[in-house]
Amino acid sequence: MAYAFSLDDVAYLRSDAGCAALSALADLPLTPASRLADVNRARQVSPTHFAAVLETLLLRRKAVAKVAFADGLFTSDAVQQATAHPVAVHRARRFTGPAHDVTCSIGADLAALPEGSVGSDLDPVRLAMARHNLGDAVPLVRADALRPVSRGTAVLADPARRDASGRRTWHPSDFAPPLDELADAYAARDLAVKCAPGVDFAVAPWADEVELVSLDGQVREACLWTRGLATPGVTRRATVLRSDGPEWTITSAEPDDCGVSEPAEWLVDPDGAVVRAGLVRHYAARHGLAQLDERIAYLTGPVPPPGVRAFRVVEHGHYSEKALRSVLRAHDVGRLEVLVRGLDVDPNALRPRLKLSGSGEATVVLTRIGRRPVYLLAHAERT
């Protein structure tokens, strides 16, 4: 059960005494094994607010890879839902002027928005934390996201995606606030709504553009864009961000004329944002690739796209466990990555049954072409 911060806790954590306590206890291990010792030491340093101090130290460690303020104040739910900073910065670039973050929480998204942006939230504790995290220059107000308190500016919203019992929900009507009610409340405004990438976007017909964003290979979010924030002629977009390389994007406005082919020299597994956005054919057309099967997201071709992890095909054929075991033995494979799409195969259950004993390593892709189950033995390479 997560600790429930109070306004008194936040006031203490922002005070000189609270800052001193956080500094004095920053070296605590904060592991399950050290819990008793950590609590005893924290009680000595901060007898009244030790629980708030310990929770803040723990949340700061969890938040360090996501938000821009290292010495911030957070709640557990806020850290879980906070946008990774590179994703927040990417999203903010689409706002051409100040915006209103109507569910600003502890301020992670608001921090990336253009100068002059404002924030509001119903939760007074989170607003107090946002004040600490953002400083005094950013206007903050307590307000219901469904009762507009600003005019003219574009709006950003990030509805809570947990039901009344605290469990994660995928039903937009259970979001807080619900998606359709947000759309109605800002029907005349440019609106951007951050969502989980697993949401069925058919439930938001009012969205002019749906963007899926991945960071370092992991799909992080979807954003529903309306009116002036959407790109004319684009209904779907996939954006791929990397900490160590260039970003790129692909949209539904691009050609999608790609063929279907037997496995060629290379196999390509498109980024999850491309797959989730339904832009696999567009990606294939851009890079001169073909699909293995019209209903499967694996692509193949003579040359892989630059900057991706692709698979150089060694051998392929009809899949059965017996046949695969023989192939792996012939190639002296002892360490095996198993990728599956389109077949009912559990890689973790399959791997021990293969009885690997070789000295080499490889990747096997299990999929289907038409109704035929196939394997593709390959070596992964960074292009």
317 and 237 together in one domain:
no
Number of domains in the chain: 3
Residues 120 and 235 in one domain: yes
Q: What beta strand segments (E) does the chain contain?
A: 99-101, 118-121, 140-142, 154-157, 191-195, 209-215, 218-225, 236-241, 248-251, 266-268, 290-291, 299-301, 309-318, 333-340, 360-369, 372-382
Residue 188 CB coordination number (10 Å): 10
In a domain, residue 142? The reply is yes
Residue 359 lies in a domain: yes
Name, in order, each residue with C-beta under 8 angstroms of 2's C-beta and a sequence gap of 6 or more.
Answer: 55, 75, 76, 77
Determine the pLDDT at residue 175: 83
Let me know whether 291 and 185 are in one domain. no
Asked if residue 261 is part of any domain, the answer here is no
- What CATH number is given to the structural domain containing 124? 3.40.50.150
pLDDT in tens, 261-285: 999 999 999 999 999 999 999 999 9
Task: Tell which residue, 142, 179, 141, 140, has the closest CA to residue 159.
Answer: 179
> What are the tens digits of pLDDT across the range 236-257?
999 999 988 789 999 999 999 9
Residue 285 lies in a domain: yes
Q: How confident is the model at residue 127 (pLDDT cuts 50, 70, 90)?
A: very high
Is residue 36 one of the residues assigned to a domain?
A: yes
Asked whether residue 103 falls in the same domain as residue 214, the answer is yes
Could you tell me if 158 and 307 lie in one domain?
Answer: no
pLDDT at residue 68, as a whole number: 86
59 and 111 housed in the same domain: no
User: In this structure, is residue 180 part of a structural domain?
Assistant: yes
Of the candidates 383, 57, 89, 62, the residue with the CA atom closest to the CA atom of residue 245: 383
152 with 209, same domain: the answer is yes
How many other CB atoms are there within 10 angstroms of residue 282's CB atom? 23
**14 and 135 part of one domain:** no
- Which pLDDT does position 202 carry in this prediction? 84
237 is a domain residue: yes
Q: In this predicted structure, what is the pLDDT of residue 169?
A: 65
| Whether residue 42 sits in one domain with residue 109 | no
**Is 187 part of a structural domain of the chain?**
yes
Bridge partners of 219, per DSSP, are 214
Let me know whether 17 and 127 are in one domain: no
Is the pLDDT at 166 greater than 70? The verdict is no
Regarding whether 107 and 228 lie in a shared domain, the answer is yes
H or E element, residue 58? helix 50-63
Question: Do 103 and 55 share a domain, yes or no?
Answer: no
pTM recorded for the entire structure: 0.92
Closest CA to 191 of 231, 140, 228: 228
- pLDDT digits over 301-350, tens only? 999 999 899 999 999 999 999 999 999 999 999 999 999 999 999 999 99
Structural domain of 354? 266-382
- Measure the CA–CA gap between 324 and 366, rounded to whole angstroms: 10
